[in-house]
């Protein structure tokens, strides 16, 4: 008894199978009748035989079925010594209603096409297939092979010989009965599940953050919080409420090597969304979220009202509050409809320092137009008195620059300057940009619609507006990473009246103060790349470079205006910096305030 308790479930199955394979020498086997012997007679010479067996579940109760199906062939072989077993195929724990998931069955059919055997022996039609179409189609294909393969159904006392329609008709009738049995079993199972839900006994599967505990078969299973996994769940909800998309959350989890329930560190946007949508994390459980609409193929659909569902709140200890979970569902729904859009329409703007007036570019925010950015910028300048727009003689130079132009940098070689290249959907920086910012992985992008500038500053990857602009290549060097900016690129193209089929390269300057660095890109210094009809060797579109039409009559812009527009005068002449100052929300409703606080608490925990 002590040895039995130490056996694993798989070892118990093997022990049961071996037990039923044992033969008693005192047992006398009485042979079958002559009529049956004639039925089993296929040909006089050696017959190569394949044995197929199947059970629909891997339970211990069905372990004996496999053994009995194998033993039956030994009895047949005594009557037919010319039958030689060449290979045995077993589908253990696989339903017979479809051949799609029956790997051993498919392997057997593949071997049949090579002429490996002449006959397939199986216990019954229901063991071979419970799908009428699969059963008959397989029989017909085997019978039509250059080297025909027949099937012997032991319990049904039926052999298909490919001669005449009688055996095929009987086979169709038996297969139809087997299929109908499967349908009835499916209905019985559905009724059993219905009764289980009505009595509050839910089918609980393993999920990250919880352990599934069952003390005995008479006690329903329970979900107990896993203290090691729960922080990852809170972290995921915190990141979502902070503005990250499911794809971004997956990247963060992989970078931090956070483990899934399976113990690996592979995350996708789909797996993240599945976690965030799971009601178990606020203590509820819902039964029959999906249902099987085809008992033959076992195909399932999401239950959107076709069948009754069952819900119980307070079923187990929650990991996050119901309010947090509800916020998460609103965000996910909005992201689905707007391809990553946030439910909030709040923009954040810098109110002081060298970046004053810059609006933070939020990829997850879908503003309606450039007017939102202009309004955010205008509020700052309305609240803080602007410096005189015209920089006077003597302020920046002892020489009067009136009438002079600041020559555009496009007139010179720009190989050592930071650049950013826009198309209608993406943006990518050059290696010099990454080098100037000391190869920081995450940045924050800011836009000033008044001065026509885009600024770049380092950012922590946990903030919602962080943008990944570089990655480590297979060779180990840090290279640019093409990224998307949500709806901002469309807004920018509209504001600048750019053509969506063209590409636009912006040139930037690096400003540094007390070890902090910023990049400023001017929307006035641009190169335009227009697609040509000529194609490259690999079939890609070639682009021709063009310069702004204003270069026909001038070399740049007014010297004082150029100094003002560059914003570098704030640092050079007025000693204004504060590059890391935080942004301020233009408007924040009560719901977003709750989301912000909840996100902060979850990320701290």
Q: What pLDDT score does 524 carry?
A: 80
Half-sphere exposure of 344 (CA within 13 A, CB side): 26
**Residue 563 backbone phi and psi in degrees, to 5:** -65, -40
**Which of 381, 475, 359, 479 lies closest to 428, judged by CA?**
479
- At which residue do the structure tokens 């039509």 appear? 144
pLDDT at 390 over 60: no
Q: What is the pLDDT of residue 266?
A: 92
| pLDDT tens sequence across 263-320 | 899 999 999 999 999 999 998 888 776 766 555 555 667 766 666 777 888 888 999 9
Residue 230: what pLDDT?
A: 92
**Which among 66, 29, 156, 581 is positioned nearest to 349, based on CA atoms?**
581
- What's the pLDDT score for residue 422? 93
Give the pLDDT band (50/70/90) at residue 5: low
Residue with tokens 């203290």: 227
pLDDT at 7 over 50: yes
pLDDT at 271: 92
How much is the average pLDDT of 93-112? 76
pTM metric for this prediction: 0.46
When comparing pLDDT for 262 and 537, which is higher?
262
Bigger pLDDT: 192 vs 520: 520
User: How much is the CA Rg of the chain, to the nearest whole Å?
Assistant: 36
Q: How confident is the model at residue 461 (pLDDT cuts 50, 70, 90)?
A: confident
Q: C-alpha 583: how far from its chain's center?
A: 32
CA distance 475 to 473: 5
Q: Which of 336-340, 429-433, 446-450, 452-456 has the lowest mean pLDDT?
A: 336-340
603 vs 35 pLDDT, higher one: 603
- Per-residue pLDDT, averaged over 34-48, amounts to 56
Please state the rounded mean pLDDT for residues 29-56.
63
In the predicted structure, residue 397 carries a pLDDT above the cut 70: no
- The more confident residue out of 208 and 178 is 208
Q: Tell whether the model's pLDDT for residue 55 goes beyond 50.
A: yes
Q: Tell me how far the alpha carbon of residue 481 is from its chain's centroid.
A: 20
Check whether 594 has a pLDDT greater than 80.
no
Read off the pLDDT of residues 514-563 as tens digits, 9 standing for 90 and up: 888 899 998 887 889 998 877 766 767 788 887 666 665 666 666 666 66
Residue 428 banded pLDDT, cuts 50, 70, 90? very high
- Looking from the CA of 106 toward its CB, the CA atoms found within 13 Å total 7
The two tokens of residue 590 are 């009560």
Q: Return the pLDDT at 598.
A: 75
**Strand order in 150-153's β-sheet?**
83-92, 47-55, 119-122, 150-153, 158-160
């Amino acid at each position: 008894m002590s040895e039995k308790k130490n056996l694993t479930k798989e070892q118990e199955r093997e022990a049961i199978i071996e037990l039923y394979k044992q033969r008693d020498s005192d047992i006398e086997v009485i042979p079958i009748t002559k009529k049956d012997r004639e039925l089993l007679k296929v040909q006089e010479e050696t017959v190569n035989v394949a044995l197929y067996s199947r059970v629909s579940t891997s339970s211990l109760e069905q372990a004996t079925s496999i053994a009995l199906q194998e033993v039956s062939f030994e009895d047949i072989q005594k009557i037919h010594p010319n039958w030689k077993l060449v290979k045995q195929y077993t589908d253990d724990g696989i339903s017979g209603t479809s051949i799609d998931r029956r790997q051993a069955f498919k392997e057997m059919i593949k071997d049949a096409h090579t002429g490996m055997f002449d006959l397939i022996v199986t216990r019954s039609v229901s063991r071979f297939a419970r799908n009428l179409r699969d059963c008959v189609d397989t029989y017909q294909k085997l019978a039509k092979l250059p080297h025909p393969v027949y099937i012997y159904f032991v319990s049904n006392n039926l052999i298909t010989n490919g001669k005449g329609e009688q055996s095929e008709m009987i086979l169709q009738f038996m297969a139809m009965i087997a299929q109908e049995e499967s349908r009835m079993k499916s209905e019985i199972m559905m009724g059993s599940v219905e009764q289980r839900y009505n009595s509050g006994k839910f089918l609980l599967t393993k999920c990250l953050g919880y352990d599934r505990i069952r003390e005995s078969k008479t006690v329903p299973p329970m979900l107990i919080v896993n203290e090691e996994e729960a922080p990852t769940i809170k972290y995921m909800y915190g990141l979502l409420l902070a503005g990250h998309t499911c794809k971004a959350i997956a990247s963060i989890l992989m970078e931090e090597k956070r483990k899934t329930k399976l113990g690996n560190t592979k995350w996708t946007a789909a797996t993240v969304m599945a976690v965030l949508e799971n009601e178990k994390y606020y203590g509820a459980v819902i039964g029959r979220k999906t249902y099987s609409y085809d008992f033959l193929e076992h195909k399932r659909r999401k239950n959107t009202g076709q069948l009754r569902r069952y819900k119980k709140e307070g079923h187990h200890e929650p990991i996050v509050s119901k309010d947090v979970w509800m916020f998460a569902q609103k965000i996910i729904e909005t992201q689905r409809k707007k391809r990553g859009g946030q439910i909030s329409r709040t923009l954040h703007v810098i109110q002081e320092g060298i970046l004053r007036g810059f609006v933070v570019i939020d990829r997850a925010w879908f503003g309606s137009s450039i007017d939102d950015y202009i309004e955010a910028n205008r509020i700052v300048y309305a609240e803080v008195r602007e410096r005189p727009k015209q920089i006077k003689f003597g302020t920046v130079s002892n020489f009067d620059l009136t009438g002079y132009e600041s020559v555009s940098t496009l007139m010179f070689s720009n190989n050592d300057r930071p650049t950013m290249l826009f198309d209608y959907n993406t943006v990518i920086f050059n290696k010099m940009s990454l080098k100037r910012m000391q190869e920081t992985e995450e940045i924050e992008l800011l836009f000033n619609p008044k001065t026509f500038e885009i600024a770049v500053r380092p950012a922590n990857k946990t903030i919602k507006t962080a943008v990944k602009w570089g990655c480590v290549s297979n060779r180990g060097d840090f290279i640019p990473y093409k990224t998307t900016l949500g709806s901002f690129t469309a807004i920018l193209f509209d504001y600048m009246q750019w053509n969506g089929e063209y590409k636009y390269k912006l040139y930037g300057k690096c400003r540094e103060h007390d070890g902090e660095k910023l990049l400023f890109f001017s929307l006035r210094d641009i190169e335009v790349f227009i697609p040509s009809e000529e194609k490259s060797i690999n079939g890609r579109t070639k682009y021709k470079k063009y310069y702004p039409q204003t270069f026909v009559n001038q070399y740049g812009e007014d010297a004082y205006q150029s100094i003002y527009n560059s914003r570098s005068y704030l640092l050079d002449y007025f000693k204004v910096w504060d590059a890391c100052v935080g942004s301020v929300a233009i408007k924040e409703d009560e719901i977003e305030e709750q989301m912000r606080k909840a996100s902060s608490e979850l990320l701290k925990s």
